[in-house]
Amino acid sequence: MTTSVQSTTAPRAASRTAARQGSPRRRSSRRKRGSTVLTIILWVILVYFLVPLVWLFISTTKDNSDLFSTFGMWFGHSFQFVANFESLFTFQHGVFWQWALNTVIYAVVSAVGAAILATACGYALAKYRFRGRNVVFSIILGSIMVPLTALAIPTYLLFAAANLTDSMWAVILPSLASPFGVYLMRVYATDAVDDSLLEAARIDGAGEFRIFATIGLRLLTPGIVTVLLFQLVATWNNYFLPLIMLNTPSLFPVTVGLAQWQATASAGGGAQVLFSTVLTGAFVSIIPLIVAFLFLQRYWQSGLTTGSVKG
């Protein structure tokens, strides 16, 4: 993995400047002509990305029979939006609420925890020279290559041995370790926190932790938000880990719960026709993340710039 270490430390003046400003460098303001052809092409391409989502929204307004018999991109014979929501939130005694709450807990706790750990570690790796630093960083970098799902089965076995399966910890603990977050924070801290600032603070007599808390954290904020968001998405979308770790439905996150409902809807058994309910649940589950991304774009876009440019 030494190659990646080299490539990340390769000096790139341009991106350094970019990172220091905390946002992509603005180009000269010479306005470019809009190209009609290019604009049309891109907006057409956009249709591909939006059709499934629009379809999903329209489907939340249909009952089961309309779902299969009416045109997918237009409303059905009746408008079942409210009924579907009612069914979503009351089916199996409203367990969907519980799932939604679980997802929020898993995602927020994991994301905040992972961001704190990664920020501290990444900052230390970037700003201090100490023995073992390169070893630690190489191991962390190498572990990015390890397939997470390949880890999931042994992790499950370990947790089973420790009697930790089927608990919230079983989902949260593994999500706290984000090697990619450390990597990102190290790269980000290298650029965003100026050594001379730290030296000045030291001369003023400030302790290392105070420097980290006052100067480091402030300058690292965009990077922290990026790690936070990406870990949030990773946990929010996580399916495999909770699938194998959890038994009790009241501990499920939305992803596992919905997949199970969908399987029930297909496998029948109790003659329950759930398709509309499942789709309504799917619709509800994607709203918070989309909103989070749209509102926090300023942060993650700049954080991502550093990570990728220096990748």
* Binding window for other proteins (CB under 8 A); candidates: 81-89, 137-145, 217-225: 137-145
Kindly tell me which residue out of 111, 170, 171, 176 binds other proteins, with binding defined by CB under 8 A: 176
Residue 28 lies near other proteins (rule: CB under 8 A): yes
CB of 79 to other proteins, least distance (A): 19
Q: Closest Cα to residue 105, out of 307, 293, 246, 222?
A: 246
Backbone region of residue 22 per phi and psi (left: phi > 0; alpha: psi in -120 to 50; beta: other values): left
105 — phi, psi (to 5°)?
Answer: -60, -50
Alpha carbon distance 150, 145 (integer Å): 11
- Does residue 25 contact residue 18 with C-beta atoms inside 8 Å? yes
- By C-beta, is 82 or 161 nearer to other proteins? 161
Q: Residues near 35 by Cβ (< 8 Å), separated by ≥ 6? A: none
* Binding window for other proteins (CB under 8 A); candidates: 68-76, 82-90, 217-225: 68-76
Two structure tokens written together for 130: 């100490």
Residue 197 lies near other proteins (rule: CB under 8 A): no
Q: Under rule CB under 8 A, which residues in 91-110 are in contact with other proteins?
A: 92
| C-alpha 17 chain-centroid distance | 27
CB of 184 to other proteins, least distance (A): 11
Q: Under rule CB under 8 A, which residues in 245-304 are in contact with other proteins?
A: 247-249, 254-256, 258-264, 266-273, 275, 278-279, 282, 285-286, 289-290, 292-294, 297, 301, 304
Kindly tell me which residue out of 20, 24, 104, 108 binds other proteins, with binding defined by CB under 8 A: 24
